[in-house]
Chain A
Amino acid sequence: MTNEALQKLISSWIPELEFTEEGSQFLNIIVQPEQLHQLMTQLKSNNETSFDYLFCLSGIDWGKELGVVYHLESTIHRHMVVVKVQTEDRENPTFDTVSNIWATAEFHEREAFDFFGIIFNNHPNLKRLFLTEDWDGFPLRKDYVDEINMVIK
């Protein structure tokens, strides 16, 4: 399915979505945290989109906001889409988990939690994956400081 057709179809489900293709090779969908889970479920289950392969889930610190970027591909239709969600709450950034939609998200979300402190609601096992339980701070955030271990050029 082409990007235009995708955009038309997806915007018919949830009207508040923003679409952009600027500076990216994929169609970007920007969604509000509240509608994330609903959108993702539909992206996976709808026969015309059927995005069944979540190939990348990255947490991003945008400076002011914290966000998560989902790269989705359909193994049937071979089209791809990027879903972005972000929140300004840096103390308790919370999104709904997608690990019940794509099993691979369980580990990827734990990674995002580990490095960005993003909390995923309803995640089955949300705890530190790489770092120790008592690690202070979230290293991949832009405001993280560690004068001993980080070499800044």
Chain B
Amino acid sequence: MSYFGNIAKGIKTLLTGMSVTGNYFLHSRKGAITQQYPDNRETLKMFDRFRGEVVMPHDENNEHTCTGCQKCEIACPNGSIEIIWDRQLDPETGKKKKMIDKHIYHLGMCTMCGLCIEACPTDAILWAQNFENSVYDRSYLTKVLNKPGSKVKAGIED
């Protein structure tokens, strides 16, 4: 008799499983979890801490707060950040001051660990929430973060 008992028990467990999927089938309209990605660009907002890429915010006078201290360059585990700097004459004080020439960021090598942003003493670099970073050539992933002609905001010292 356990032979038939086993069959009945087996069929019962199969029906239990089918009830779960059947329930999802009946509620498929509202239950769908698909995100139709390129269509939902307007509503798709990344969280404000999302690590998309490193950017350097500039204000309306084309000024940033990067002093060229190179702490981010040292903190970076895989050499994604290169800073080219020289000492220029500060027009206000008349003293020579360390200024960045180029803040080069290799997005292609970046692992989004966030150590550079942690290390930055002046909050000159921040996370951007942009995540659509694909390009046709790897060289496009090397970015210069400071805009041309930008300079350090007055009074920022590290």
Contacts and interface: CB of A to CB of B under 8 A. Distances in A.
Determine direct contact between A and B, CB below 8 Å: yes
Interface in B53-85: 78-79
Contacts of A153: 79
A148 interface: no
Interface string A132-153: 0000000000000000000101
A81 B78 CA distance: 36
Nearest to B78: A151
Nearest to A153: B79
Taking chain A's interface residues, is the majority helix, strand, or loop, or is none over half, making it mixed? loop
Interface residues of A, number: 2
Contacts of B78: 151
Contacts, number: 3
Interface in A94-153: 151, 153
Interface string B128-153: 00000000000000000000000000
A151 B79 CA distance: 9
Nearest to A151: B79
A113 to B, nearest CB: 29
A152 B79 CA distance: 10
A48 to B, nearest CB: 46
A153 B78 CA distance: 9
Interface in B30-64: none
B113 to A, nearest CB: 15
A151 B78 CA distance: 9
Interface in A33-55: none
A42 B79 CA distance: 49
A31 B122 CA distance: 53
A90 B104 CA distance: 43
B20 to A, nearest CB: 39
A96 to B, nearest CB: 39
A153 B80 CA distance: 12
A151 B76 CA distance: 13
B102 to A, nearest CB: 20
Contacts of A151: 78-79
Interface in A8-57: none
Nearest to B77: A153
A15 to B, nearest CB: 48
B77 to A, nearest CB: 9
When A and B form their complex, which 3 residue pairs have the shortest distance between CB atoms, in order from nearest?
A151-B79, A153-B79, A151-B78
3 contacts: A151-B78, A151-B79, A153-B79
